[in-house]
Amino acid sequence: MNVPKMTPGMGSEQLEGFMSKARAASGLLKALSHETRLLILCILSQGEKTVGELEAILGLQQAVVSQQLARLRAEKIVTTRREGRLIYYNIADPSLTGLVSALYEMYCGPNAAPIIPD
């Protein structure tokens, strides 16, 4: 694992750099901290989809899917492309697909630990 070593004598500029990046990561994780948004990103990691396609896959109402997509758009996690009357959604940053894949492996992959219900 490639985690930086932080020490008491670290320079204030270096520490501020880490703090800035931690704030950015925290904002991303907050945006991802909803199960519907995570499912949307899992679906979009396989390719762009319309709201209607996401609605059909998730079995949710259009308003619910649109609300979650609006949050993801506001956080610049997804982008859109218009084709006629259809709007296609896709993941803005390809590195997010790697994060979604890692979460999938941790929680859904063949070696994932079983989840014990509350």
pLDDT at 105 over 90: no
3, 47 in Cβ contact below 8 A?
no
Please give the order of strands across the beta sheet that includes 49-50.
Answer: 49-50, 86-91, 78-83
Q: What is the predicted pLDDT for the residue at 118? A: 64
| Higher-scoring residue by pLDDT: 70, 110 | 70
| Higher-scoring residue by pLDDT: 7, 69 | 69
Question: 47 pLDDT band (50/70/90 cuts)?
Answer: very high
pLDDT at 82 over 80: yes
CA dihedral 69, 47, 32, 4 (to 10 degrees): -140
* The model's pTM: 0.79
What is the residue extent of each domain of the chain? 34-107
Q: What fold is seen in the domain 34-107?
A: Arc Repressor Mutant, subunit A (1.10.10)
Q: Taking all residues of the chain, what is their mean pLDDT, rounded to a whole number?
A: 88
Q: What is the predicted pLDDT for the residue at 59? A: 95
Q: What is the predicted pLDDT for the residue at 117? A: 67
